[in-house]
Structure 1
Amino acid sequence: MTQDTASSQDTRTTTPGPRPWPRRLLGVVRRIPSTLILVAVILVFGVATQALWTPFAKSPAWDVLAYGLPAFTDGRWWTLVTGSFVSSAPPVYIANLIALWGLVWLEYRRGWRVAMAYFWIGQLFAVLASAMLLWALSFTGSPWAIAQAQLLDVGWSGGAFACMAAAVGLFRSPWRVRAWLALLAFVFVALLFWGAIAELEHMLGVLLILFVDRTLRIQRATVREQRLIAFASMLTLGAIEIIVLLLPTNGLFGPTTPASGSFGDIAIDIIVILLVADGLRRARRWAWVVSIVLASFNVLSGAVVVLAIALLGWNDVGDAINGDPSLSLATSGLWVAMLIYLLWVRHAFRWRRKGTLGLQPIPDLAEARDVLRADGGGTLSWMTTWEGNIYARTSTGLVTYQRRMGVALALADPLGPEEGRAQSVREFITMAEHAGLVPCFFSASEATKAAVPAGWSSLVVADDTIVDLPGLEFTGKRWNSVRTSLNRAGREEMTFRMTRLNDEPWGIQQQLRAISEMWVGDKGLPEMGFTLGTLVEAEDPEVRLALAISPQGDVDGFLSWLPVYGEGGVVRGWTLDLMRRRDGGFGPVMEYLIGMSAVAFRDAGAEIMSLSGAPLAHEYPPNAGMIADLSEKLADALEPVYGFQSLHRFKEKFHPRYETMYLLYRDETDLTRIAAGLTRAFLPNATLRQFASAGLDMVRRPG
């Protein structure tokens, strides 16, 4: 990608923006009529029973309308319906109405019939199954079951949670698995520690959909997803231990009071969790081992408590552990699940910090160049030979990448035979995930986009601007600006020379360095890397330099061109990298240099000339949405510093065709780390002070 600016008028045409939000909201409302009718009926019931502003549990109508085991044994079966339209207290209305988001999503996606079926089947099942389960458990002598079996309840939350579970099943991967696990964790923890009838109904409603829909397929999760689940679960366990220590509970194992647990045990757990959680996310073997030890210790502690209760009694054990045994039993149950999961996904934590990606032997630069010459590559392929890149060997080729901020940034497309590049993409993703890195592909082509796993996301990062050289002639009205610059250069006796940097005399080389240093000094940030070269990369003997020299012998501007290899070691084209001009020199020097380079490459038999891509300058279609808006805002912010949009408009003078280049990534949760990794890849030597100075320049820019 080139890194210079060129002045031209903004020739972009305006495209219609997205529909105004009132129209979009109206479109959503029209697609959820049954949800709106249900909410209306709930509000009417709330007004009729005065439950909207007074606690319904204190109303005389409570025994008539509320459902539960006592109501069913007395023959009040109508309560299955009447109790589903009212809440127990005014604040509960708010929570229960918010819980209907799953119903809204279901109706919006699958229609009112499916949505209502899920809601009412889930609601009726949750209420009836809860009553039957409490009736059966009460015969075991469980104090919790006996107490809950005597109570009544109202509300539609059983159906709402069933709809949530069904809506989660419609999420795209990997959000489906994440949302399912979060929902299951919520209902089980709520039942375990705050086990009212409502919590039991929520759990049964969710389990019904889990059994019927079968959309939770955790066995298909990638190793990266397995580690993310372990990371989130470990932090959740720590948060639960703190919450139940500070708040009263009344779950399956009985009631507890605040500060009734063992402070020492919980403090040890929290400290260890904070130490190992991030290690689990990064696939560190030591973190998995420590987590296994911690989970085993908590499970063993719970087993000792159970044995002690059987031998000594509940109260004596509470005195001995200086806390409530209920808390120990409940948290031990969670640690059992954590231990089982860690053992199940043990293969996801085999990476050691000094491990390398790819098959052995590790490729070097010489091999990468040999592969590139033998099998060819895309317009950015020569950038894979630059310093700072490393190579991962796959069974079918090489993947060039940089390791930054926990991210494996693959550059452009894989190297190697074209028929094996898709396999290289898949193998590299697996390698990176096993290494605890976030894989992504930057400036990738459509072919690489098609090769990533289903469910991956993409962002347009640039449009590659390609000029086809065979038959190119600067004739006709549309080439006026280029032809004018060539004619003016002839009148002013400018000289064009296609050369190599090291073939030029010392004086010319010093002029090139002075021009480049002046350009860098104006930016406030160092020269960018990764896909943006410097004069160091231009020293490569395979890189060509186009010079514009004035009659006085001054270099008024220069370009660097990177080779684009086809199969068999033939250079089929050239890619523009550096664009530099001397202040006060020949005005249209860039048009002149590119035009003369095109003629030289055409006459030498080249097929294409890539003017490379300007980042953040993609022309999005109408109604492209949030991504287009974000890209435009970021481009506007960076324009005073790097001029990407101006550069893109300048290249339009050469009437190129466009090939989209993408950033490919698994999902949105990776974008923050990828952004940090890309920042370091492009500006590896920038200091915090330089970043801050550039940010202030953006904020202070006029307009």
Structure 2
Amino acid sequence: MTTVEHASRQRPRAAAVLTRIPGTLAVVGVLLVVGIVGQGLWSATPAQTWWQDVAYGLPALQDGRWWTPVAGTFFVVSPVAYIPTLLAFAGMGLLEWRRGTRVALLSFGVGQLVAVLVTCAFLAVASLSAWPWADRLAGVLDVGPSGGAVACIAACCALLPSPWRQRLWVVVFGYAAISVLFLGSLADVEHAVAVLFALAVTRSFRIERATLRDRRLLAFAISLALGAVQVISLLVPTDGPFGRTQALDGPWIDVLVDVVVIGFVTNGLRLGRRWAWVLTVLVALLNIVTSALLVLVLAVDPGVQLDGDDAHHVVATSVLWLAFLVYLVATRSAFRSRRRRALGAVKGRRAADPPTLDEVRETIRADGGGTLSWMATWDGMEYLRTTTGVVPFQKHLGVAIVLADPLGPEGGIPGSVAEFVAAAERDALVPCFFSAGTRTRDAVPPSWRSLVIADDTIVDLPGLAFTGKPWSHVRTALNRADREQVTFRMTSLAEETWGVRQQLRAISESWVGDKDLPEMRFTLGTLRETEDPEVRLALAVSAVGDVEGFLSWLPVYGPGGEHRGWTLDLMRRRDGGFGPVMEFLIGSSARTFAEEGAQIMSLSGAPLAHEVGDDEGQIARLLGQLAGVLEPVYGFTSLHRFKQKFNPRYEPIHLLYRDEGDLARIGPALVRAFLPDATLRQYAAAGIDMIRRD
């Protein structure tokens, strides 16, 4: 695409965006025009002779300048302040984009007036009590639209789905509380009022039985914020409701101890560790007791001289620690995870003994499973015994990845899903289900996300006949094999001679050697998995005894031990051999399975080969782009197109996860699951190769 064509396509998009946010653009335009006319874009507004006539605050209202809450909105205090002020209007733009111009303008205008007027009313009352901080702010004037902008930002919290809505509210609350407690300017009080106003109007902050994960994440965020407060108070002068502190003036050793301890235990809180909870409670109690003693000393002897203004800082910090302590006590059950504990264990009892491999096989035979269930018997799998079945999974980089669907009776899948999720979250693991079917998708909590990552290609075998144009590729391959005397044999690895086994290994090693990365695992088997006596091999053998190619087939069981069909795993061919060997092998296998009475033949699903629809979201489109990048290395899309020759029907294969926040950890974990033996050098070489081919 040329630069001119790209620019021509971008113009309609930019115009569409601008037409969606006229209110925001109008307010920003007024601010800039006023900045030019009033010279605020290049000189400080308080230095202007008309400052008193436009600035709002308690003195302005007491002197009868009632218009100032509106007039002062469109001025900015200094040229530098225009940068954060204009950036803050991104919140209003987003609100207008999602809720319309009327809602955005009302949120901004009413939020600005409420922030200014309520702050003035609060200071008028608070200054009567001889509170130095309130008395000082009662005489301050200010200008700017930040109150309305912050109200719009807070209102944007309601636009997000749960649990992101609650998480963003925590960030907004934290900003407002820390700003008031430690900076304490007139604007900070206005911002806090604007946040409370937006909360009262939207009523969108509802922690209704927050999940185990969210309780830990909130503790993690608060702990980080407290650590940041300790550092900021050393570097920046503070002037909050409890008094002033000077930069680089304070109990250095106390702050350093707090920061070290907080840094040490913060990650433990994220993981739900009991020791981290205990240490944090002790630190909170220490801060609160210290503050209480200082307040007691000042109450007994108001004239006592303390070291600078340290007491004010300690009291302000202790307010946050007290709130944090209340939260920690209320959510204490979320912090019971212990390292090196078997998945599924809880306090007071150990986990049920995981099932053996033989038990897993017997469960699949007895209760049936999906087309990928036999992969649960491969090396590297772990198992969680639930009250209704067995959940096969792997752990990588703090993520517990379930392979396919839980095993056991179909009616027990919801119970197994719930028990696995609870056990994983209790041990601070990120739970997800990879290559799951529709039954598992329906069993996960309603708030979970579902992403189609592949399509299982299934050929129904009853009545199968290679007639008509759709089967021309298969008929051509079968006829050519007859002419060239290539024969088909359904067998197992143990039944073959040493010479044939060596040929299979040579073919497989040649295929692997062509890749910059090693063989993929997890949902893709290797020659080792064909040693299983229940796995069948389909061989194409030339007239002179050379193996032209081979397939491996995994058993698919139904309830009651019914052998429903087979799933394709390995596909390998000899270089320079019989051309349509794969069409010949799959067609011959299908004919054999149909004669044996099998119901289905699954050609499995190629990872990342699902064709993304317009309604599947940005994450799905990103995976589609990733598939394009990996295509030169693994050929997922080409494989998917090849399977279409066999006229299959499609069943979606899902990745199930809690929310988008987990994807940053699930992605690397899946890479490790698929490529457990790959080295950093191999990743780099593969990346360079993909760039060259692109």
Judged with a 3 Å threshold, the aligned counterparts in structure 2 of structure 1 residues 110 and 470 are, in CA distance, closer, same or farther, namely same
- Work out which of the residue numbers 87, 90, 105 in structure 1 matches 2:76: 87
What is the match of residue 223 of structure 2?
234
What is the match of residue 274 of structure 1?
263
Task: Report if aligned partners of 1:498, 1:547 keep a CA contact under 8 Å in 2.
Answer: yes
- Name structure 2 gaps, 5 residues minimum: 1-5, 345-350
Judged with a 3 Å threshold, the aligned counterparts in structure 2 of structure 1 residues 460 and 115 are, in CA distance, closer, same or farther, namely same
Give the structure-2-normalised TM-score: 0.94
Task: State the Cα deviation string for residues 464-510 of structure 1 (Å, max 9, x = none).
Answer: 11112222222222222221111111111111111111122222222
Written as runs of structure 1 = structure 2, the 5 A alignment for 1:579-594 is 579-594=571-586
What is the match of residue 85 of structure 2?
96
Residue 189 of structure 1: how far off its partner (Å): 0.5
Amino acid at match of 1:125: V
- Work out which of the residue numbers 387, 391, 406 in structure 2 matches 1:399: 391
CA distance in 2, matches of 1:315, 1:123: 42
What is the match of residue 341 of structure 1?
327
Task: State the Cα deviation string for residues 194-246 of structure 1 (Å, max 9, x = none).
Answer: 11111001001111222332211234321111111211221221122111101
Task: Report if aligned partners of 2:40, 2:77 keep a CA contact under 8 Å in 1.
Answer: yes
Amino acid at match of 1:270: V
- Work out which of the residue numbers 123, 128, 133 in structure 1 matches 2:112: 123
CA distance in 2, matches of 1:314, 1:161: 41
Residue 696 of structure 1: how far off its partner (Å): 3.3
Stretch deviating more after TM superposition (651-660 or 454-463): 454-463
CA distance in 1, matches of 2:80, 2:320: 30
1:376 and 2:395 are equivalent in the alignment: no
Task: Report if aligned partners of 1:402, 1:410 keep a CA contact under 8 Å in 2.
Answer: yes
Secondary structure of 1:245's aligned partner = helix
- Work out which of the residue numbers 635, 638, 647 in structure 2 matches 1:646: 638
What is the match of residue 414 of structure 2?
422
Stretch deviating more after TM superposition (374-383 or 112-121): 112-121
Residue 408 of structure 1: how far off its partner (Å): 0.7
Residue 120 of structure 1: how far off its partner (Å): 2.3
Give the structure-1-normalised TM-score: 0.93
- Work out which of the residue numbers 244, 255, 274 in structure 1 matches 2:244: 255
CA distance in 1, matches of 2:10, 2:615: 12
Task: State the Cα deviation string for residues 250-302 of structure 1 (Å, max 9, x = none).
Answer: 22122221111211111111211222121211122112112222222222222
What is the match of residue 536 of structure 2?
544
Residue 410 of structure 1: how far off its partner (Å): 0.8
Amino acid at match of 2:274: R
1:607 and 2:599 are equivalent in the alignment: yes
Task: Report if aligned partners of 1:497, 1:548 keep a CA contact under 8 Å in 2.
Answer: yes
Amino acid at match of 1:530: F
What is the match of residue 410 of structure 1?
402
- Work out which of the residue numbers 114, 122, 134 in structure 2 matches 1:145: 134
Task: Report if aligned partners of 2:449, 2:656 keep a CA contact under 8 Å in 1.
Answer: yes
- Work out which of the residue numbers 657, 661, 664 in structure 1 matches 2:649: 657
Judged with a 3 Å threshold, the aligned counterparts in structure 2 of structure 1 residues 220 and 160 are, in CA distance, closer, same or farther, namely farther
Amino acid at match of 1:334: L
Residue 306 of structure 1: how far off its partner (Å): 2.1
What is the match of residue 487 of structure 2?
495
Task: Report if aligned partners of 2:632, 2:693 keep a CA contact under 8 Å in 1.
Answer: no
RMSD of the TM alignment (CA)?
A: 2.1
Residue 166 of structure 1: how far off its partner (Å): 1.3
Task: Report if aligned partners of 2:612, 2:624 keep a CA contact under 8 Å in 1.
Answer: no
Written as runs of structure 1 = structure 2, the 5 A alignment for 1:615-630 is 615-622=607-614, 626-630=618-622
Amino acid at match of 1:142: W
Secondary structure of 1:537's aligned partner = helix
Secondary structure of 1:226's aligned partner = helix
What is the match of residue 693 of structure 2?
702
What is the match of residue 10 of structure 1?
none
CA distance in 1, matches of 2:9, 2:267: 42
CA distance in 1, matches of 2:625, 2:148: 42
What is the match of residue 554 of structure 1?
546
CA distance in 1, matches of 2:147, 2:122: 15
Residue 622 of structure 1: how far off its partner (Å): 4.7
Judged with a 3 Å threshold, the aligned counterparts in structure 2 of structure 1 residues 48 and 689 are, in CA distance, closer, same or farther, namely closer
Task: Report if aligned partners of 2:611, 2:624 keep a CA contact under 8 Å in 1.
Answer: no
Task: Report if aligned partners of 2:474, 2:587 keep a CA contact under 8 Å in 1.
Answer: yes
- Name structure 1 gaps, 5 residues minimum: 1-16
Residue 623 of structure 1: how far off its partner (Å): 7.7
Stretch deviating more after TM superposition (128-137 or 422-431): 422-431
Amino acid at match of 1:389: M
Residue 311 of structure 1: how far off its partner (Å): 4.0
Task: Report if aligned partners of 1:547, 1:558 keep a CA contact under 8 Å in 2.
Answer: yes
Residue 629 of structure 1: how far off its partner (Å): 4.6
Task: State the Cα deviation string for residues 439-476 of structure 1 (Å, max 9, x = none).
Answer: 11111123322332233223332221111222222222
Task: Report if aligned partners of 2:452, 2:620 keep a CA contact under 8 Å in 1.
Answer: no
CA distance in 1, matches of 2:688, 2:422: 40
CA distance in 2, matches of 1:130, 1:310: 29
CA distance in 2, matches of 1:22, 1:428: 50
Task: Report if aligned partners of 1:248, 1:256 keep a CA contact under 8 Å in 2.
Answer: yes
CA distance in 2, matches of 1:364, 1:138: 73
CA distance in 2, matches of 1:80, 1:691: 60
What is the match of residue 3 of structure 1?
none
What is the match of residue 297 of structure 1?
286
Judged with a 3 Å threshold, the aligned counterparts in structure 2 of structure 1 residues 478 and 541 are, in CA distance, closer, same or farther, namely same
CA distance in 1, matches of 2:554, 2:504: 17
CA distance in 2, matches of 1:268, 1:219: 36
Stretch deviating more after TM superposition (91-100 or 146-155): 91-100
What is the match of residue 331 of structure 1?
317
Residue 409 of structure 1: how far off its partner (Å): 0.4
CA distance in 2, matches of 1:633, 1:31: 29
Secondary structure of 1:220's aligned partner = coil
CA distance in 1, matches of 2:87, 2:166: 22
Secondary structure of 1:579's aligned partner = strand
CA distance in 2, matches of 1:214, 1:161: 16
1:38 and 2:27 are equivalent in the alignment: yes
Stretch deviating more after TM superposition (162-171 or 19-28): 19-28
Identity %: 57
Secondary structure of 1:552's aligned partner = coil
Amino acid at match of 1:430: A
What is the match of residue 296 of structure 2?
307
What is the match of residue 348 of structure 2?
none
Residue 592 of structure 1: how far off its partner (Å): 0.6
Secondary structure of 2:678's aligned partner = coil
Task: Report if aligned partners of 1:496, 1:548 keep a CA contact under 8 Å in 2.
Answer: yes
1:472 and 2:464 are equivalent in the alignment: yes
Residue 315 of structure 1: how far off its partner (Å): 6.7
Aligned length: 682
Amino acid at match of 2:294: V
What is the match of residue 210 of structure 1?
199
CA distance in 2, matches of 1:292, 1:20: 57
1:68 and 2:57 are equivalent in the alignment: yes
Amino acid at match of 2:321: W
CA distance in 2, matches of 1:534, 1:47: 71
Task: Report if aligned partners of 1:309, 1:317 keep a CA contact under 8 Å in 2.
Answer: no
Stretch deviating more after TM superposition (306-315 or 137-146): 306-315
Amino acid at match of 1:148: L
CA distance in 2, matches of 1:127, 1:496: 84
Greater relative CO, 1 or 2 (CA 8 Å, sep 6+): 1
Stretch deviating more after TM superposition (589-598 or 60-69): 60-69
Secondary structure of 2:80's aligned partner = helix
CA distance in 2, matches of 1:135, 1:258: 30
1:189 and 2:188 are equivalent in the alignment: no
Amino acid at match of 1:203: A
Judged with a 3 Å threshold, the aligned counterparts in structure 2 of structure 1 residues 314 and 620 are, in CA distance, closer, same or farther, namely farther
CA distance in 1, matches of 2:548, 2:111: 76
- Work out which of the residue numbers 684, 687, 691 in structure 2 matches 1:692: 684
Judged with a 3 Å threshold, the aligned counterparts in structure 2 of structure 1 residues 180 and 646 are, in CA distance, closer, same or farther, namely same
Residue 557 of structure 1: how far off its partner (Å): 0.8
CA distance in 1, matches of 2:513, 2:307: 71
What is the match of residue 576 of structure 1?
568
